[in-house]
Amino acid sequence: MTRLCARAFAVGLALAFGGPAAAQTTELTLVLPNPSALNNFPLHVAVGEGYFAEEGIEVNVEIVNGSASVLQLLASGQADIGQPGPAPLLAARARDVDVVFLYNHFAKSVFGLVVPEESEAQGPEDLRGTVIGVGTADGAEVGFVRAMMTEAGMVEGTDYEFLAVGDGGTAAAALINGEVQAYAAASSDAAIISARGFALREITPEPFFAYFGNGWAAMREFIDANPEVIEGFGRALVRGTRFGLDPANEDKVLEYTAAANPQEGEDPEFARALLHAIQERAVSADPDAPFGYHPPEAWEKWHESLQASGELSEPLEDLEAAYTNEFVEAWNEAP
C-alpha cells in the first residue's frame, strides 16, 4: 500500500499466536480526517487489547485534513477504509464515486453550532449577516451547519458566509478577535476552546442532534472483495467500543489514546472530560440499536437536507446504496 504524504502515525498488532493460519495477516491502511485519538477510542482500544490481532488484521493509521481528503484517498486506492462524514460521502456518490458507509461510528451528531457566551444569538436564525467558522472548507461540519441554516431560510454567500479557521487554538483565536461570530464545532473542538477559558454556548436546534457523524467507509469494490476482513474489522471495533464504554476501563482507554496521540494525553483531566463527551456521541439514542448500525431514517434526513441546501442538485437514484447494515449482526455477536 502506498504511504501517504501526510502527517501520519502507525498502530499495529504485536501479538503472535501459533499455527500456520495465524501467519496470514491482512494489513489495512486506515485514513482519518483529524489526528484526535480520543475521537477514535474504539480503534485504539482494539489495537491495544489485541482485538485486531485476533482477527488477523494489522492496521496502519494515516491522518489527513478533512473528509474530502479521506474520500480522495479511498477512491484512488491509497487507503482501504476511511472515516468521512455522511454529507461529503453523499456528495461523492453524486459524482459516481462508489463509496459505502460501513460502520456508524458517531451514532449521534458530533457537531454543534456554538457562539461566544455573551453573544445575543439564540439560534441559527440570529446569525444572518455573520461569518461562521468551520474547521476545513470541505469538512463534514460544513454540510451539517449549512442544512440548519437552510432550514432557517438563509442562503450561503447571501445571508452568511463560512470561513475555514482550523480547530482548537486557531478557532478560539478567530472567535476571540471577532473574525467569526459562530463556530461549527465538533465536541472535541468545543471542549478545547472552553478549556482555554473562552466560554461557548450551544445554539443547535434540537432536531439536528439526530444527524449522525463520521463513520467508517470503503469502496464497494474493496468490500465485495474482502467481506471476511470487513467482518473482522467491525467485530474488533465493537469489542473496542464495549471495552471503552466500561467505566472500569477508563484509565486503560486513556493510556491507549495517549500512546496514539501523546499531545492529547498531556492534560489527563482534560482528556478524561473529552473522552466522556465523545463516549456519549458514540452511543445511539436508541438503546436497542447495535453498534455500527445505520438508521435508514437518519440517512433520509441527511439526503433531504443536502438537497434543500443545494449540496445535492438532485436526489440520489439509490440512497440505500450509500450505506450497508449487512455486517452489523456479525459485528455484534458475542466474541
Q: Are 42 and 183 in the same domain?
A: no
Q: What is the pLDDT of residue 308?
A: 80
pLDDT tens for the chain, residues 1 to 335: 433 333 344 444 333 333 334 448 999 999 999 899 999 999 999 999 999 999 999 999 999 998 999 999 999 999 999 999 999 999 999 999 999 999 999 988 878 899 999 999 999 999 999 999 998 887 778 888 998 999 899 999 999 999 999 987 889 899 999 999 999 977 777 777 877 778 899 899 988 877 888 999 999 999 999 999 999 999 999 999 999 999 999 999 999 999 999 999 998 988 998 898 899 888 887 888 999 999 999 999 899 988 887 889 999 999 999 999 999 999 998 66
Q: Are 254 and 192 in the same domain?
A: no
Locate cell 493509521: which residue?
61
Q: Are 205 and 101 in the same domain?
A: no
Q: Does some domain include residue 42? A: yes
Residue 219 belongs to a domain with what CATH number?
A: 3.40.190.10
Q: Are 100 and 216 in the same domain?
A: yes
Contact at 8 Å (CB) between 312 and 302? no
Phi, psi of 60 (to 5 degrees): -115, 120
Instruction: Round to whole Å and give the CA distance between 156 and 243.
Output: 42
Q: What is the pLDDT of residue 88?
A: 93
Which of 147, 177, 210 terminates a domain? The answer is: 210
Contact at 8 Å (CB) between 67 and 73? no
Q: Are 300 and 233 in the same domain?
A: yes
Q: Does some domain include residue 135? A: yes
Burial class of 154 by CB neighbour count within 10 A (0 to 12, 13 to 18, 19+): middle
Q: Are 124 and 66 in the same domain?
A: no
Helices 41-48 & 227-245 angle (0-180, nearest 10): 100
Instruction: Round to whole Å and give the CA distance between 140 and 84.
Output: 7
Which of 184, 210, 236 terminates a domain? The answer is: 210
| Pairing state between β 99-103 and 216-219 | antiparallel
The count of structural domains within the chain is: 2
Can you give the residue range of the structural domain that contains 193? 111-210
Within the chain, how many helices (H) and strands (E) appear?
A: 13, 10
Q: What is the pLDDT of residue 211?
A: 83
- In 3D space, the residue among 200, 89, 209 whose CA is nearest the CA of residue 140 turns out to be 89
Q: Are 101 and 194 in the same domain?
A: no
Contact at 8 Å (CB) between 239 and 332? no
Q: What is the pLDDT of residue 109?
A: 83
Neighbours of 318 (CB within 10 A): 8
Q: Are 205 and 216 in the same domain?
A: no
Phi, psi of 161 (to 5 degrees): -135, 155
Mean pLDDT of the chain, nearest integer: 89
Q: Model-level pTM?
A: 0.77
Q: Are 120 and 230 in the same domain?
A: no
Q: Are 220 and 315 in the same domain?
A: yes
Instruction: Round to whole Å and give the CA distance between 4 and 11.
Output: 15
